Structure 1
Amino acid sequence: MTRGQLIQRLNELRSLPAETEVIEFKEAKNNFHFDKLGKYFSALSNEANLKGKAEAWLIFGIENKDHRIVGSRYRHGDRSGLDSLKGEIAEKTTNRITFIEIYELNLPEGRVIMFQIPAAPRGFPIAWAGHYHGRDGEELSPLNLEEIERIREQATRIDWSAATCEGATIEDLHPEAIRVAREKFKVKNQRLATEMDDWDDLTFLSKAKIIIGNRITRTAIILLGKPESEYFINPAVARITWLLKDKENHEKDYQHFTCPFLLAVDGVFGKIRNLKYRYIKEDTLFPEEVDQFDPFTIREALSNCIAHQDYSCGGRVNVVEREDGYLTFTNLGEFLPGSIETVIESEEPPAYYRNSFLVNAMVNLNMIDTVGSGIKRMFRLQREKFFPMPDYDISGGKVKATLTGKVLDIDFARVLARNPGLSFFEILMLDKVQKKKELSDHEISYLKDRQLIEGRKPNFHISFSIAEKTGRKAEYIRNRGLKDQHYKDLILEFIGQYGAATKAEIDKLILDLLPNVLSPKQQENKVRNLVYSMSKRDKTIVNEGTRRKPVWRMSQP
């Protein structure tokens, strides 16, 4: 949130006549007991879930009766004191759940700290130090058994896309779509290429995990169904609308597509004009011309919409092409990873997908990549053309991804072209500058310190007179960071020498080596992702301790 948005949100909360189960004010003028903070986290998180809220708020520096700002000195000073709270709280909560964000506002009346607390995940009540807490009005209280069960019962997720369609048969699927599906499956599974030539259609569909026990699933209808078979998924719809708008945002053309989506993707792709973009030739750093939109990026964005659409909402996928160089893809449903930064940073697969059966089928048919790698590649392809980064708007219960098919700020393009060592986070910060988005104080300080921006708040502009011209190449290498394998080798060397490593020892070994551009939370996530990769994928280490207090040793051959 921006400072203005935070102040507006704070004023809204202060205007409430009293505290609620999901809002708590505390004066916390000088200190606040850590254990009580954890209990409030558990209680507010659980109550937000039970009340159907996305979040709860705990606010320090506010008197709890008349909601006056009295100011708090809780962990006053270095911002790292507040940032470290996330890890400290996570150590003693269920599934290491922690704050969405901790905001610090220095107002004329005093300092206010706003803890944004996420609702307990569906099916998982949040405990603090092994105990579940809730609220009885404004007071802390144990979460009763009935409330615990209400949250746990939410864990019974029904995968809409895996349900079978009563009365549907293979005759309701499109023969051409099945033929194309076979070709795509063969590309993805070349070791089965010869064998699958002998499969009949039902065997193929079962092997590709598109049907279940010869029964036609909703996934099969969406991807391979005849257009007239769409009624099998009613009241859901299988629709994609392509819309062309001129520079004044007036509609010029449109077309609707329905199942089979496997073929519709090519249909939509064919409608998008994807003109050539010609650079202003200043030097040899820029190519003469490129496609406005990389074909992979178009297909990946559209396929992601199909895979993650919340079909229970009864809406359609929209693709809007604008003549001034923008392409927008929209699907219904919350963005389950929480933020696009989470997808980019994480090396772990998502905990679950909305349409797991559909996602797996699309992976098997080579329509999408998994574990966010497709989104990461979209960002990389934009960077390679020196174009702006993709924009994601995940508000309002839908996901809107916008691609820009042109250079917005020539200085941004120059910086990317002349400095291939820029980190992803530096590029994202510079992208915010060229799009005139608000920067945090940390981002401003970081970019100014490295002479990447000039000007005064809020009117910053990009400077391309950086590392190579200021003698700060070593610092840029430091901020770019090392390859993941280097960090993994250090962990293995440590365990090899000392026999085992605790979480604290791995943190001490790795954290100081990570790029300065990463925030403390991002650095913590990076280390966690490295260890996860080593244990779950590389299988080079194994935890012989507990989940809360892991002790990592070498895996036995």
Structure 2
Amino acid sequence: MKSVYDDWTGNVVQEADIRSFDPEAVRAVRATYVSEHPDDADAVSGMDDQAFLSHIGVLKRGKVTVASMILMGKASEKVLPSTLCIRWRLLDVDGTVSDTRSVNGSMVLAVRKVASIISNSTVKIPDGDGQSFVSTYRIASLTEAMFNAIQHQDYTMGGTVDVIERENESVTVFSRGSFPDVQPESFVKGQNQTMTQRNSFLIRCMTGIGLVSNSGAGIRNFYLSQIHKHFPLPRFSITEDTVAVTFPGRREGSLVRALDIHPNMEVQDIMDLDRLDSGRFLSDKRMESLISRGLVTVYDGVPCINPSYEDPSSRFSKGSDYDAVMQLLKENGSVTRSDVVDVLRFRDRKGLSDEQLSVKATNILQNMRKDGRVAKSEGSTRSARYELVG
């Protein structure tokens, strides 16, 4: 097809009209739009399909666009490349392909079809004093990953979205094209990202309908849903010409055990522990923070997730600051001023600065020395270690 605009997905398809759309796909788009835009439901309820699709911006002056054909086109229409499809493959435990299917036509329907093919069992996870049931895969995450691949795909490279299901292990969604120069984890932290976009017309259509989330919220939800289910976090693999996201389908590993025992950990701590558990780089500063708070322990020089970790915010929440520091001393036998600052930070409800917390820690330790509760064993004032007396 001859390109009229820089963005191929915004081109008008002259040889197509409203009859080129799959009626089931149009109904699905209507249902999604009304669900995401309830205030507009009455306005669009009386519109015919052409008026509705023009209203939501997938047509141009009433004309069929490439984007609209990607989302709703019939499989029998031959106006788009035959490589535009979702290809699902099932690999057995030995990595051999045991089943495969390619779904052409409307990508809205193709995503739903492939999501329904994937085996999705229910598992039990600890929930307080009892148990709850969760699905191995969150359907919303799988569909969002496929829709993300469709909207960001580099269609000059063919247009096939590959979905690889490894039996009882994982699901991976592959798309063609590069990824912006940002880390997927940055979306979880809520950092604003400026991303260059290909297929801008298609992206606007899919976002306007409600098929995908805005500003990386979908990626954030990939991580949060895995945390909620106590599963390993998603894995991104990014090369110059492919982007892949893998959703682990097995509850295994030290991180999962930590989530079972301490489901209310901070998201940043969970992501740091995941980096440690998967052998990826973790800065010295973050590692020291995890160790100082008991989330990580060191065995023979090797840092490991500490399954017996107890959140200091609950362990040291009773009594005064003095009492909390005494509790830390009873557990460890000795402390540094930095250890005391960490405990005070957990207890702090006034938003004190690090400098203020440090002064407070020094005052508490000096009072303990006066009371005969601790003795300075080594180091200068800044690096001194204080041991419990008696």
| Higher RCO, Cα 8 Å, sep 6+ | 2
Map 1:396-435 onto structure 2 (within 5 A).
Answer: 396-409=240-253, 411-435=254-278
Cα deviation for residue 478 of structure 1 reads 4.7
**Counterpart residue identity of residue 276, structure 1:** T
Cα deviation for residue 467 of structure 1 reads 4.0
**Counterpart residue identity of residue 91, structure 2:** K
Q: Deviations over 1:77-112 (max 9, x none)?
A: xxxxxxxxxxxxxxxxxxxxxxxxxxxxxxxxxxxx
Cα deviation for residue 511 of structure 1 reads 11
Equivalent in 70, 74, 82 of residue 222 of structure 1: 70
Q: Normalized against structure 2, the TM-score is what?
A: 0.75
Contact 2:189 2:268 survives alignment (8 Å)? no
Instruction: Give the root-mean-square deviation of aligned CA atoms.
Output: 3.2
Given the superposition, is the C-alpha separation of residues 436 and 349 from structure 1 closer, same or farther in structure 2, using an over 3 Å criterion?
A: closer
Aligned length: 328
Cα deviation for residue 255 of structure 1 reads 0.6
Q: Normalized against structure 1, the TM-score is what?
A: 0.53
Equivalent in 257, 262, 271 of residue 108 of structure 2: 262
Cα deviation for residue 205 of structure 1 reads 1.0
Given the superposition, is the C-alpha separation of residues 476 and 416 from structure 1 closer, same or farther in structure 2, using an over 3 Å criterion?
A: farther
SS in 1 for 2:279: coil
**Counterpart residue identity of residue 101, structure 2:** Q
Cα deviation for residue 449 of structure 1 reads 2.1
Contact 1:277 1:406 survives alignment (8 Å)? no
- Provide the residue aligned with 1:380 in structure 2: 224
Given the superposition, is the C-alpha separation of residues 233 and 277 from structure 1 closer, same or farther in structure 2, using an over 3 Å criterion?
A: same
Looking at structure 2, the residues matched to 510 and 166 of structure 1 have their Cα atoms a distance apart, in angstroms, of 64
Map 1:195-234 onto structure 2 (within 5 A).
Answer: 195-229=43-77, 231-234=78-81
Given the superposition, is the C-alpha separation of residues 458 and 512 from structure 1 closer, same or farther in structure 2, using an over 3 Å criterion?
A: same
**Counterpart residue identity of residue 104, structure 2:** T
Whether 1:325 aligns to 2:325 is no
Structure showing greater Rg? 2
Contact 1:161 1:218 survives alignment (8 Å)? yes
Equivalent in 164, 176, 179 of residue 335 of structure 1: 179
Cα deviation for residue 368 of structure 1 reads 1.2
Q: Deviations over 1:312-363 (max 9, x none)?
A: 2114111111113211111111112521133223453644432221122112
Looking at structure 2, the residues matched to 340 and 452 of structure 1 have their Cα atoms a distance apart, in angstroms, of 24
Contact 1:423 1:479 survives alignment (8 Å)? no
Looking at structure 2, the residues matched to 344 and 479 of structure 1 have their Cα atoms a distance apart, in angstroms, of 23
Looking at structure 2, the residues matched to 338 and 481 of structure 1 have their Cα atoms a distance apart, in angstroms, of 34
Contact 2:312 2:343 survives alignment (8 Å)? no
Looking at structure 1, the residues matched to 116 and 305 of structure 2 have their Cα atoms a distance apart, in angstroms, of 36
Whether 1:453 aligns to 2:296 is yes
Q: Deviations over 1:412-445 (max 9, x none)?
A: 2343244344322211111122223343433432
Contact 1:285 1:417 survives alignment (8 Å)? no
Looking at structure 2, the residues matched to 377 and 479 of structure 1 have their Cα atoms a distance apart, in angstroms, of 27
Map 1:120-519 onto structure 2 (within 5 A).
Answer: 158-229=6-77, 231-234=78-81, 237-279=83-125, 284=128, 287-336=131-180, 338-348=182-192, 350-409=194-253, 411-455=254-298, 459-468=302-311, 471=315, 475=342, 478=345
**Counterpart residue identity of residue 40, structure 2:** L
Q: Deviations over 1:171-202 (max 9, x none)?
A: 22112211222222222222222221222222
Looking at structure 2, the residues matched to 379 and 251 of structure 1 have their Cα atoms a distance apart, in angstroms, of 28
Looking at structure 1, the residues matched to 62 and 279 of structure 2 have their Cα atoms a distance apart, in angstroms, of 54
Given the superposition, is the C-alpha separation of residues 354 and 510 from structure 1 closer, same or farther in structure 2, using an over 3 Å criterion?
A: farther
Contact 1:453 1:461 survives alignment (8 Å)? yes
Cα deviation for residue 370 of structure 1 reads 0.9
Q: Deviations over 1:444-484 (max 9, x none)?
A: 323222222233588432102334369466948957999xx
Given the superposition, is the C-alpha separation of residues 202 and 428 from structure 1 closer, same or farther in structure 2, using an over 3 Å criterion?
A: same
